[in-house]
Amino acid sequence: QVQLVESGGGLVQAGGSLRLSCAASGRTFTNYAMGWFRQTPGKEREFVATINWSGSITYYSDSVKGRFTISRDNAKNTVYLQMNSLKPEDTAVYYCAASGTMRTMRIDSVPYWGQGTQVTVSL
């Protein structure tokens, strides 16, 4: 059982940066791969990034590769998404996710979701 709460969203100009945080409850945090997804009105939720249980392996969607960085601090039960060089197309609600493996970090497989935090990037 994992509870996830995102924070750090907001309004930023194109080219700016934001750092999202996802606080997890319980002592099972280190057993899970973590990830971030995003969704805009009229679009399906899409994968953004994931990180394995130890933090040694990361994977990103092509749309954010080189701009976003996912990290985790297991001692603090927290996963982060550092977003740099933000673009208007990054505007979305960002959701934190926890799953058993990086391979199951998929929309239909993720068992635990956060409530989402809004990120808006203006021109």
Q: Among residues of the chain, what percentage have pLDDT more than 90? A: 90
**In the chain, pLDDT over 70 holds for what percent of residues?**
98
Strand partners, 37: 47, 95
The answer to whether 98 and 4 are in contact (CB under 8 A) is yes
Q: Give the mean pLDDT of 42-62.
A: 96
Tokens at 11, concatenated? 């309004």
Model confidence at 31, pLDDT cuts 50, 70, 90, reads confident
Dihedral class, residue 115 (left if φ above 0, else alpha if ψ from -120 to 50, else beta): alpha
The pLDDT assigned to 45 comes to: 96
- Mean pLDDT, residues 32-59: 96
pLDDT at 27: 64
Mean pLDDT of the residues in the chain:
95
